[in-house]
A and B are shown apart, each in its own frame.
Chain A
Amino acid sequence: MLGISMSMEKLLREKEAYGKLRLKLLEKSKGKWVAIFNGGVVVQGDDFGEVVKKAYEVTGGEVFYVTKVGEEQKVERRIYRNR
């Protein structure tokens, strides 16, 4: 099992890979949640939870990166109004 820093590095690598795939994905998968593993899309779908669960199965519990194509800034921003 990966250590914490290795998990983070793996996630960052997959995020970087997504950046390279993004333009192509915008053409055919805009609005879909995608899971990126080993530099490619392994699962895509309309529901975040379903994509995560399927990607966990497909990758055997390895680290993968999930985002929503074309809405990255929206889904990767959080405001904690209570804190």
Chain B
Amino acid sequence: MSAESTGIDETYYPPFPWCSVRISNLSKKRTVTVKGYIDTGSDGTIVTADIDKKLELHKQPVTMAETTSIGGKPEERMLYAAIFTIKRVEVVTAVDVRNDIEETLLGRDILRHLSLSINWKKGTINLRDP
């Protein structure tokens, strides 16, 4: 991925803001750094099956949740512990692992720990530890 830590991905329409995020398992023995797409509409964070495979998140389920997308049927799913680090802010959360997405979606469970402003016109994002 690029060296920038934030950006707005113009390959999506409308463009999708993102930030660089480090994701680790609870032991911190396995870590990846990926683009996390900023999804303020999502209650929780979702990671790809590929990230689960690299970090072995499936070994540490911590809770269950009834998940629903707009217009979709509720689904009971396991959520797995993971540590997210963004701009030196470390957040432990429970993530949904899905094999029907291609990007990491950062929900409000993580975003609420940060100060975030997006200037869509200039294409800039200010994301920091409040």
Contact = CB atoms under 8 A, between A and B. Distances in A.
A83 B63 CA distance: 22
B92 A49 contact: yes
Given A61-B26, A82-B105, A76 B66 contact: yes
Size bracket of the A interface: 20 to 34
Contacts of B96: 78
Interface of B: 26-27, 39, 41-44, 46, 58-70, 72, 78, 81, 91-94, 96, 101, 105, 107
Contacts of A65: 62-63
A12 to B, nearest CB: 8
Contact of B42 (A2, A48, A56, A80): A80
A2 B59 contact: yes
B60 A63 contact: yes
A7 interface: yes
B92 A78 contact: no
